[in-house]
């Protein structure tokens, strides 16, 4: 059997056919395709804050990108440009904490990396242009930023990425303090681009969007760890 990889998702109004603005559990199909092309079986997980019991039938967990994490979860007040979804936080944080207890393989993408960091006791920058002085990590609505990342020698992400270090990013927040995780990659401006937990078999967060290019290196590593 293919390893079953759960992908966290949104519930947002969506329109198709004759149906308009129906509350819909969805996720960009790039995530599903990336998991399937890497040999996994993708299962979409709608937000559910009641319990993390779904993990009992999963072999791995993919924390997808999305809205900002609620600042209260890392002891901060929300800033004007912070946009949160309480339902996703309520559903994802119990999943992450239980998955870490079970040593279930986890890949966090963009928001997913930030969720990992906050779950590990870390904090976030709420608006990167205020910290970095530029908007290259989210240059325009719907436009990915492109840059190169630097990875720590010997780290999991360095071994996976090799010499191809170009990444596609779209975010206005970032990890300020990774908590108990280890920062293993940074952008040219010093922002954390990758975090890992070397004490677990596979816990990796990346600030960019590898699903956009169906990056078999990262999704293949998740599927392999879940096998």
Positions marked catalytic: 110, 209, 211
* CB-based contact 47:215 (threshold 8 Å): no
Residue 79, φ and ψ in degrees, nearest 5: -90, 165
* CB-based contact 174:192 (threshold 8 Å): yes
According to DSSP, residue 114 is labeled H
Distance CA 72, CA 74 (A): 5
Alpha helices in the chain, H assignment, sequence order: 29-37, 86-102, 111-119, 128-132, 156-161, 216-226
Distance CA 226, CA 70 (A): 29
CA-to-CA dists, residue 31 to 10, 40, 63, 192, 209, angstroms:
13, 11, 10, 22, 9
């Amino acid at each position: 059997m293919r390893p079953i990889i759960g992908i966290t998702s949104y519930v947002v109004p969506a329109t198709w056919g004759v149906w308009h603005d129906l509350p819909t559990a969805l996720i960009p199909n790039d995530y599903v395709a990336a998991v399937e092309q890497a040999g996994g079986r993708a299962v979409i997980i709608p937000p559910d804050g009641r319990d993390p019991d779904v993990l009992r039938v999963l072999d791995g967990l993919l924390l997808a990108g999305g809205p900002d994490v609620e600042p209260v979860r890392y002891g901060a007040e929300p800033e004007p440009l912070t946009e949160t979804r309480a339902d996703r936080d309520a559903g994802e944080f119990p999943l992450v904490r239980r998955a870490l207890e079970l040593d279930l393989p986890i890949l966090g993408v963009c928001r997913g990396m930030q969720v990992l960091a906050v779950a590990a006791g870390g904090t976030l920058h709420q608006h990167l242009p205020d910290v970095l002085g530029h908007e290259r990590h989210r240059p325009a609505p719907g436009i990915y930023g492109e840059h190169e990342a630097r990875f720590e020698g010997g780290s999991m992400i360095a071994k996976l990425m090799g010499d191809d270090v170009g990444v596609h990013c779209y975010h206005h927040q970032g990890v300020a303090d990774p908590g108990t995780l280890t920062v293993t990659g940074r952008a040219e401006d010093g922002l954390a681009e990758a975090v890992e937990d070397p004490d677990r078999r596979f816990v990796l967060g990346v600030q960019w969007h590898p699903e956009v290019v169906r990056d078999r290196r990262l999704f293949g590593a998740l599927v392999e760890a879940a096998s």
